[in-house]
């Protein structure tokens, strides 16, 4: 190809350019079709706005190149809930499963150090499954754990979740206990104070962080006594 000089304009061979453009367009279309045929409908339906294979590739790379804990968790959650239904063929169902398996494969470590890498990966898998089973009211802790780098171990996550569990139990029983005391009349309280005063004082001196089980047991006992005497007092008052 001859070089173009500033002083003289380049002459483009229109016929050659058209041929090359048609060849490029043919290859570009084949690549986009290949992308579509190797992905599930929910993904290849998103290719419509793109005109070139490069744009499709960049979109896929941006969407699926992330290897953080939240992305892995989302894929495992989708795999966990994926079920075959009568409205699809076995091939479609298998393709969806295969697509998720392939995406999850990127999170597998390179086995240069088999023992350490294997146990670390297995622990991460256990962490994902463990967090999946938690109810919605633990979402704030689940999100915090998943976005840490490096991810915590299952044992570390369990320790934090147990602290939150203890806090929730404490708040529930304190709320219930407060409700009982609020609805207890002053006369009734003074009349039966000698029967449950010791338990009430014991609750006040418990270290809730270290004695949550004792706190719950004592609170339940006190609640039973309060309920029993509230019922008894009500019957006596009616008589």
135-151 pLDDT tens trace: 787 888 889 999 998 89
Write down the pLDDT at residue 24.
93
Using 50, 70 and 90 to split pLDDT, how confident is the model at 211? low
Distances (CA, A) of 164 to 25, 69, 78, 97, 201: 58, 21, 26, 35, 26
pLDDT of residue 94: 76
Residue 45 has pLDDT above 60, yes or no: yes
Q: How far is 72 from 138, CA to CA, in rounded Å?
A: 19
4 vs 53 pLDDT, higher one: 53
* 208 — pLDDT class (breaks 50, 70, 90): very low
Lowest average pLDDT, out of 86-90, 133-137, 141-145, 235-239, goes to 235-239
pLDDT tops 80 at residue 228: no
pLDDT recorded at residue 37: 86
**pLDDT-based confidence at residue 237 (cuts at 50, 70, 90):** very low
Q: Where are the alpha helices (DSSP H) in the chain?
A: 14-37, 41-44, 53-64, 69-81, 90-105, 114-132, 139-146, 154-183, 186-204, 212-238
Domains of the chain, by residue range, sit at 14-64, 69-152, 166-238
Of 50-54, 71-75, 120-124, 176-180, where does mean pLDDT reach its minimum? 176-180
CA triple 69-74-76, angle to 5 deg: 95
Q: Which one is predicted more confidently, 211 or 97?
A: 97
Beta-carbon contacts of residue 169 (< 8 Å; ≥ 6 apart): 212, 216
What phi and psi, each to the nearest 5 degrees, are found at residue 5? -105, 155
More confident residue, 197 or 96: 96
- Per-residue pLDDT band at 28 (split at 50, 70, 90): very high
pLDDT over 90 at 77, yes or no: no
Q: Considering the chain, what is the average pLDDT of its residues?
A: 73
This prediction's pTM? 0.41
**In sequence order, which residues have a C-beta less than 8 Å from that of residue 117 and are 6 or more positions away?**
109, 110, 111
Q: Is the pLDDT of residue 40 over 60?
A: yes
Between 54 and 101, name the one with better pLDDT. 54
């Amino acid at each position: 190809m001859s070089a173009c000089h500033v002083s003289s304009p380049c002459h483009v061979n229109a016929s050659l350019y058209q041929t090359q453009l048609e060849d490029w367009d043919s290859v570009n279309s084949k690549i986009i079709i290949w992308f579509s045929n190797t992905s599930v409908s929910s993904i290849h339906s998103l290719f419509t706005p793109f005109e070139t294979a490069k744009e499709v590739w960049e979109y896929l790379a941006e969407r699926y190149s992330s290897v953080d804990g939240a992305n892995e968790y989302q894929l495992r959650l989708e795999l966990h809930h994926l079920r075959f239904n009568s409205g699809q063929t076995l091939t479609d169902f298998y393709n969806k499963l295969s697509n998720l398996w392939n995406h999850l494969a990127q999170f597998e470590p390179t086995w240069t150090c088999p023992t350490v890498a294997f146990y670390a990966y297995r622990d991460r898998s256990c962490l994902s499954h463990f967090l999946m089973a938690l109810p919605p009211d633990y979402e704030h802790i689940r999100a915090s754990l998943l976005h840490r780098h490096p991810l915590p171990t299952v044992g570390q996550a369990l320790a934090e979740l147990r602290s939150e569990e203890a806090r929730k139990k404490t708040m529930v029983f304190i709320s219930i206990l407060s409700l009982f005391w609020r609805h207890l009349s002053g006369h009734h309280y003074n009349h039966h104070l000698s029967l449950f005063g010791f338990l009430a004082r014991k609750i006040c001196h418990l270290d809730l962080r270290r004695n949550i089980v004792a706190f719950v047991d004592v609170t339940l006992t006190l609640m039973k006594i309060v309920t029993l005497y509230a019922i008894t007092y009500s019957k006596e008052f009616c008589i």
